[in-house]
Structures are given as C-alpha cells and as structure tokens.
Structure 1
Amino acid sequence: MNDWRNVDYLRHGAVVQKEVYNLLTELDIMNLLTDYNPLLVGTIPLGIQVEGSDLDIICEVHDPVKFKALVVRYFGAMEGFVSESRVIQGIPRTKVNFMAKGWLIELFGQPRQTELQNGYLHMIVEAEILAQMDDGFRERIILLKINGWKTEPAFAKALGLEGDPYEAMLELEKLPWSALHALCHSVQAREQV
C-alpha cells in the first residue's frame, strides 16, 4: 500500500498524478497545512480520476477560525475562493474551495484524526478493492464516474451493495481483509458467468 501521508507516490504515478504532485508542491499546500495532518483523498490517489475531478484534502481541524485564517492568508486570493463552516450531526465541519491551475481544490476539516475521517476510510477500502479486482472493474468504476456517479456510489453499484453507498463502503472497511477478498472474488466470479 501507498504511504498516503506523503504525496511523493504521486511523482511516480500516471501523468495526471504527476501534474497533481507538481501543483501541490508549487502551492506548498501540504507543508502549509502540516499542523492539520492533511491527507489527499479521493480519485487522484486511486488513479480513477475523470475529467472534472477535484483534489480533496482532508484535515484535522479543532479550531475552525484559526484554520480559516491560515487558509485565507495563503489561498484567499485564489480564483473561486469560498469557505463555510457548519455543524452536521453535532460535528463542526469546515470546507474551503478554490481553483489553482484548472484544478478545483477542496479542503475539508473536522475535529477528528484524518485517518479516522470517512474520506480516508473510503479511499483505503477502495484501494484494496481495486488491488483485488481486474482491470475491467477499474474501467467500470471510471465509466460510471464519466456518467456522473460519485465514487462511493460507483463502487457500491459495481459491487452490488444495497442501501446508502457511503455507509456500505464504511462497513466494507471494517471487514477483515480476508472477508473483503472473498467479496471481491465472488463479484468477479459472478461477472464471469
């Protein structure tokens, strides 16, 4: 598995991943946000991005005012800069969006370790599923995304999961890897019939 904490793995990836690595390096965003334990999550690290993908960076934010002040200081002049904070299900959340070199960047913060946030947990299980499945599965996910599906609903559909796709993917993340491997094997076997 990748060292997700360090975006260096992007340097050795596909052309788009290298482009993202260069952008993140140029903006120095991961270093500027280091006190917030930033993690790049989503389609770019997984290599399943499509046209219009954004860069999702999750952060551990306990003081939204301080976080927003830092972000405004370094990125407030960027095109399309907007930020909002609100409380959802009792958890304060801060979201900041801006454009940089044609990329929409979304910073998302909540008072929870980044490795415990849903965006990271979804990415971890999706990476494991992609590692277990054949290229046809990856292509199906990309095709669903091209047709407007978000990542978690695309995985849930391709795996035949029912209910809320975001919750279903979190449930998969809780499974032992052997059970996840068995699920992937049964999905592939079903597709070959």
Structure 2
Amino acid sequence: MIFYDIGYLKEGNSRQQHCYKVLRETNILEILHSYNPVVVGTIPIAIDIEGSDIDVACCTENLLEFRDIVRFNFSSFKDFSDHLENVYIANFEYRGLEIEIYGEPVPTFMQNGYRHMLIEDRILRLAGAKFRDDIIALKRQGYKTEPAFGILLKLKDPYQELLNLVQLDDDELMSFVAQALQNK
C-alpha cells in the first residue's frame, strides 16, 4: 500500500530526508513492525511546517503490551511522555524532531489519520501548487491540517467530510475541488 514503504522519504524534500534518517536511526518501524506501523501526517505529503512532528500509526489489540514495548524502547529519549485511554499515544524528541507513536485496535490502513492523509494527498495532487501553498499558509496561521482543508474546500465538518470524499474517483474529486475553489 502507498506510504507503507518509507523509501519515498529518502528521495523527498530536506524535511522528508531528515524524517527518513530519524526513522532509520531510532529503528521505530523495525521495533514496531508487528504492529503494522505507517508514517502518517503532514511530512509524508509535504505540507509540514516548522514544528510538525513525525506521526507513526500502529495497530494493536493489546494496548498495555504495546505501551510496555514503546516504553522499553523509547522512554529514554528526550521529553518522553505517554498516555493510555482508548488509544495509546507516546511522544518524544530525537534530533530536533518530535515523534508521536499512536496505537489503537484498528488496522492502520483504516485509521482516520491514514485515511485523511490519503485523501489530502489526492486533493493536493489534483489541486496543484497554489492550493498546497494555501494549506501551508493556513497551517502557519495556526490551523490544524483538516480544518485548513475545510476552510479552502468549504467543509463544515472537515474531519468527517474529508473521509466521505475518499469514495470519489479523481474526476469527481477534481470537480468537487474546482467547484469549492471557484466559489471562494
């Protein structure tokens, strides 16, 4: 599946290349291999800004076991913190880059973070460079990624409505995007 092999980061922009090195040096993907880790978020689709983190989504049926493995392997990293409720989230820093590991009992390819990234990537590819620049500008103004897409595409509930767009083929999606941008 797209984005499951991080080789594209090695050939990407300087921030993506740094992300690739950090992932390799920390061995996150190898250590968490049995949890089907996938890098999601803004860095893979090149709409990250200063301070954006590396998000690693994982699938686990046993959150306590997953927490113990993450703690064992990463708790010595700078600024490590974690919490567990219905999902497990750990954060830490390495080489100036914040890393967030996220685990929930849902296959990674079905998690909202991954699904949002896929539709956002499709929209960015179809809408072009100005749209990408506008998203980045909104993010620099303090908007989170999905609300930024929501503003440009006139979505009332961007978190849900972006997921609804997944079902559209590229022609339908481009038509939707063009209509939203035309009505600015």
Q: Which moved more, 1:94-103 or 1:164-173?
A: 164-173
- Is 1:175 the counterpart of 2:174 in the alignment? no
- Find the counterpart in structure 1 of residue 108 from structure 2: 114
SS in 2 for 1:45: coil
Matched, 1:8 2:7: yes
Aligned position for 1:187: 180
Shift of 1:80: 1.2
Question: Whole-Å Cα distance in 1 between the matches of residues 56 and 88 of structure 2?
Answer: 12
Equivalence for 1:65: 64
Match of residue 43 from structure 1 = 42
Q: Distance in 1 between matches of 2:143 and 2:120?
A: 15
Distance 2:181 2:126 in 1: 10
Shift of 1:175: 2.8
The corresponding residue for 1:101 is 95
Match of 1:139?
133
Residue 89 of structure 1 aligns with which residue? none
Q: Say whether the 8 Å CA contact 1:55–1:104 is kept in structure 2.
A: yes
Alpha-carbon distance in 2 for matches of 1:128, 1:169:
11
Q: Which moved more, 1:168-177 or 1:66-75?
A: 168-177
Structure 2: which amino acid aligns with 1:65? L
SS at structure 1 position matched to 2:50: coil
Indicate the SS of the match to 1:51: coil
Give the root-mean-square deviation of aligned CA atoms.
1.4
Distance 2:154 2:62 in 1: 40
Give the secondary-structure state (helix, strand or coil) at the position aligned to 1:107: strand
- SS of the equivalent of 1:10 reads helix
How far 1:118 moved relative to its partner?
Answer: 0.1
Post-superposition CA distance 1:62-90 (Å, at most 9, x none): 1111111111111011111111111xxxx
Question: 1:3 Cα deviation (Å)?
Answer: 2.8
On the 8 A contact 2:152/2:181 being kept in 1, the answer is no
Moved more, 175-184 or 20-29: 175-184
Question: Between the two proteins, what is the percent identity of the paired residues?
Answer: 36
**How does the TM-score come out when normalised to structure 2?**
0.95
1:188 Cα deviation (Å)? Answer: 4.4
Aligned equivalents of 2:15, 2:169: Cα separation in 1: 32
Contact in 2 for aligned 1:133/1:188 (Cα 8 Å): no
Partner of 1:165: 158
Structure 1 segments unaligned to the other structure (5+ residues): 87-91
8 A Cα contact 1:46 1:127, kept in partner: yes
Shift of 1:186: 2.2
**Alignment correspondent of 2:149:** 155
The match for 2:76 is 77
Equivalent residues, number: 184
Query: What is the TM-score normalised by the length of structure 1?
Result: 0.91
